[in-house]
Structure 1
Amino acid sequence: MKSVSKDNQNDDSNQTFLATMRDHFGSVNCVRWAKHGRYLASESDDQAILIRERKAGSSTSEFGSGEPADIENWKVIMTLGGILQTW
């Protein structure tokens, strides 16, 4: 997976839409990627943390949505629920 260089990270002309993730039932507050880019975790107002894994190939679009298929294919592999406390 190609990384975003410091020189290009704020260049709007260099941005590409990769995927839409619709698995949460509330607003997403935080997303973090693993350093190697294979996993990501997202947390939302639904008090769930979803762990996703990037799979090979592209994803299909939702039938009748009129949206293009996602370039990257992310699948939920684990769900963590409840309230997590940090100190």
Structure 2
Amino acid sequence: MSAAPALLAVAHGTRDAEGVRTVRALLDEVRRTRPGLRVEVAWLGLVEPSVPRALAALPGPAVAVPLLLARGYHVRTDLPALLADAAPG
């Protein structure tokens, strides 16, 4: 039986350290409430790991969840393109 997919939370990215801490605290809470779920973070810019690097570091499949405030260009265009580029085959 294969392992369950990891949750890859994709955040916008910020130069503000408090913004990075906030995203990490949110994901720590997800990990606390779902201890069997692998939860990783990727950033669309300004912070590492990038989406391609985060996906490459995962040993198996992932479900990407955008942590964005609106369904704008990043959700409709950037993220689907990054995920398609990383898809096998």
- Interval containing the TM-score (normalised by the shorter chain): under 0.3
Which structure is higher in helix share?
2
Which structure is higher in strand share?
1
Give the greater-gyration-radius structure (CA).
Answer: 1
Give the alignment's TM-score, normalised by structure 2: 0.26
Give the alignment's TM-score, normalised by structure 1: 0.26
